[in-house]
A and B are shown apart, each in its own frame.
Chain A
Amino acid sequence: MTLEVDATVAGRRLDISLRVGAAETVAVMGPNGAGKSSVVQLLAGLLRPDAGHATLGGRTLFRTGSPGQWLPPHARGVGLLAQEPLLFPHLSVLDNVAFGPRSQGGSRAAAAAAARHWLGAVDALQLAGRKPGQLSGGQAQRVALARSLATEPELLLLDEPMAALDIDTAPFLRSLLKRVLAGRSAVIVTHHVLDALMLADRIIVMDRGRIVEEGPTAAILAHPRSGFAASLAGLNVLTGSLSGTGVVTPDAGLVAGRLAGAFADGAAGGGVAAVGRAQGLGPSYAAPGPGGADGMAAFPPSAVSVFLAPPQGSPRNCFPVTVTELEPLGDHIRVRAGRLAADISPAATAELRLAPGARVFFVVKAAEVAIYPA
C-alpha cells in the first residue's frame, strides 16, 4: 500500500510532504521537538491537520477544504506501536491481541485464533494467559507488536518502539521488527542510527516541523546534509560555499578537503565504516557546482587531532575551539567543542590536561575531509 501525505498543522508548526511506497519502511529521525511524533499522530488520526490531504492505498485518510474528508482512527487500517506498550491492563495478553480482530467484527473464536497466530509470530505464545502487569518491558512490547499486527494494518506506525527498553532486550525486538516489517509499509520514528540501518529503506530527517533531508539510508549517512544526520553518522559537518576542493565557511574560514565524488565510497571514512554500510552512494554528488555554490565539508571525529598550539607546516585544517564537553566513547574520549568533535585516547586527554573551557586547536588533514555540494 502506498501512503501519500501532504499536511500542515499550525499548532505544532508541522509542514510535511512524504510518500511511503508499498512494502517500504521509512525511518523518521530528527532532534527532540522536530515533530516526528506529530507525523505519527497525524497518520493515525489522533491529530487533525489544518490543511492538506493523505491517501493510503487509494483511500483518502483526510482531505481539508470543502467538502473535507476525515477518516476516524478506527477506520484507517493504520496500526500504532508506541514507546510504551500500553497493553490494556484489565485484559489478558491473549485478549489484548484479540481486541483488534474482535473490534473489526470477527467472531470470538476467530479473534482468539488470530491472536494466537500473532503471539506465535513474536515468540510470545507462552505469555497468552498472563496479565500485562506480569510481563517484563520487552515481553510487553512484543505483545503490543503482536496486537498492532493482528489487525493486519495497511500501514504500521512505530513511534520509538525501543526507546523504553533496556539495552539487553532492544536487540531482540529489533530483529523481530526486521522480520515482521519485511513486505509491509511502515513508518518508524527512532533516535538510533542502528534502527534506521537495520529496519529502514529510507531516512527522513525532520527539524522544526519540516523535512530537511531524505534519501536512502546509506546515502544519507555517507553524505549528511543536515547537522542532525551528520551527528547520526558520527561526522563533523561544516557548511559554507564551495571553492575549489574546499568549502569557505563563515566561522572557520576555508576548509580544505577532497571532492567526495572523486572517491565516493571512502568519502566519509570512519563514520560510514563505523555504521557498516558504505555502498549505494548516488552518483549525483560527483560533480561539485561552480565556485560559490553551497557546499559541505564532513570528517569523522577519529580524524581530528587535538593540539594546544597551532601546528606548523603540513597542509592541514586547523580550528581554534573551546572544549565544551568530554565523554567516554568506547576505548577513547570524545572531545566536544561546540558543533565539532574529536576522538582521542584517554592518555592524550590527560597529557593535554583537557577540561571543559580549555582553548585548543582541532586539526584535520585535508585528505580526511569530504567536500560535497549541499
Chain B
Amino acid sequence: MPALAPRNRPWQYQAVPRWVYVVAAAGALFVLVPLVGMVAKVNWGKFIPLITSPSSLDALLLSLKTASASTALCIIFGVPLALVLARAQFPGQRILRALILLPLVVPPVVGGLALLYTFGREGLVGRSLTVLGIDIAFSTTAVVMAQAFVALPFLVLSLEGTLRTAGQKYEAVAATLGARPSTVLRRITVPLVLPGLLSGAVLSFARSLGEFGATLTFAGSLQGVTRTLPLEIYLQRETDPDAAVALSFLLIAVAVVVVALTYRAPQQPARVPEPTEAAAP
C-alpha cells in the first residue's frame, strides 16, 4: 500500500533516539553558524552601493544568465541520459554511469583543465573548431560549458532515482493502450517524474551558480564576459573585503530564493483516505 500522508499517519511512534537529535542539531549548526558569521560581517551601510557597482552588476547578471543556460543544457542532455541509464540495458551501463558521475568527485580545477585540453585552442576538438573560426575557451560559452560539466551529474542522479522509483508499470499500461514510445515519454513518463526533474534542475542551477574552479581554468576572469559572481567575490576579497562579503550575501540570497521557490523535499503524493463506494452493485 502507498505510504500515508503525514497528517493522517496512524501511528505516533518515531524510532529516532534522543541523542540523534543532538548530533543532528550539531550538524545543522555547523552549516548555519558560518552563514550567520558572514551576515554579521556585512557592512549594511554600504551594502547597496557595493552590490550595485558596475563590476558587481556585470558579475551578477552574467552568473544568472550562464547558470540558466547551463541548467537548460543539463535538462536537454540529462533527461535522455537519465532515461537511458534507468530504463535501457546495455553492456557497459555501469561503467557509463560511473564515468558520468565523475565530475561530482573530480576537483573542478581538474574538470576545467580537461575542458581546456579538449575545447581549448590547442585541444583535441578545439583545434578543428579554431580552423572553422570558432573559439570557445575564455568566452561566455566556456563559462556555460564549465558549469554544465560540473552540474550535469546532479540532474542525472536525481532524475535517474525518480525514474527508478516511478517504475515502468504506467509506461507498460500506456503502451497497451496504443501509445507509441514517444507519446508515452511525453504524456506519462515526464509528467510522472516532473518533481524529480525539477529538483534535479534546481540542484544543477545552484551548482552552476556557485561554479568557480572549472570556470576560472577554462574561461578565465574577464569582466562582463567570463567573470561570474564567485570569481568577482574571490577577486574583491583581495582588494575590498567589504564588497566580497556583500556579494557573498547576495549570492546566498539568490540561491536561497531559487531553492525555496522550486525545491521541495522528496515526498509521497498525498493519498485521500478511501471514500466509500457510492454505487451499489
Contact = CB atoms under 8 A, between A and B. Distances in A.
Given A134-B275, A137-B274, A99 B172 contact: no
Contact of A103 (B169, B170, B183): B183
Contact of B176 (A76, A88, A133, A171): A76
A89 B192 contact: yes
B265 interface: no
Given A89-B269, A136-B275, A103 B178 contact: yes
Interface string A161-185: 0000000110110010000000000
B163 to A, nearest CB: 15
Interface in B172-199: 172-181, 183, 187-188, 191-192
A269 interface: no
A151 B276 contact: no
Nearest to B190: A90
B145 to A, nearest CB: 34
A148 B174 CA distance: 10
Interface in A58-94: 72-80, 82, 84, 86, 88-90
B76 interface: no
Contact of A133 (B181, B187, B192, B272): B272
B278 interface: yes
Nearest to A124: B279
Contacts of B179: 74, 99-100, 103
Contact of A126 (B181, B271, B278): B278
A289 to B, nearest CB: 46
Contacts of A99: 174, 177, 179, 187
B195 to A, nearest CB: 11
Interface residues of B, number: 29
Contacts of A345: none
Which one of A80, A90, A104 has the greatest number of beta carbons of chain B within 10 Å? A90
Contact of A100 (B177, B192, B272): B177
Contact of B180 (A44, A84, A103, A138): A103
Interface in B210-253: none
Contacts of A82: 169, 173
A45 interface: yes
B173 A104 contact: no
A75 B277 CA distance: 35
Contact of B177 (A136, A139, A148, A172): A148
A74 B176 contact: yes
Given A104-B178, A133-B270, A172-B281, A86 B169 contact: yes
Contacts of B173: 80, 82, 86
Contacts of B174: 88, 99, 103
Contacts of A116: none
A78 B176 contact: yes
A44 B181 CA distance: 15
Nearest to B187: A99
B272 A74 contact: no
A46 interface: yes
A168 B175 contact: no
Contacts of B191: 88, 90
B281 A84 contact: no
B258 to A, nearest CB: 25
A135 interface: yes
B192 A46 contact: no
Nearest to A89: B269
A223 interface: no
Contact of A46 (B172, B180, B181, B188): B172
B274 to A, nearest CB: 5
A147 interface: yes
Interface of B: 169-170, 172-181, 183, 187-188, 191-192, 269-272, 274-281
21 contacts: A45-B176, A46-B172, A46-B176, A73-B175, A73-B176, A74-B176, A77-B178, A80-B173, A86-B173, A88-B174, A88-B188, A89-B192, A90-B191, A90-B192, A100-B177, A100-B179, A103-B178, A134-B275, A137-B274, A151-B177, A171-B281
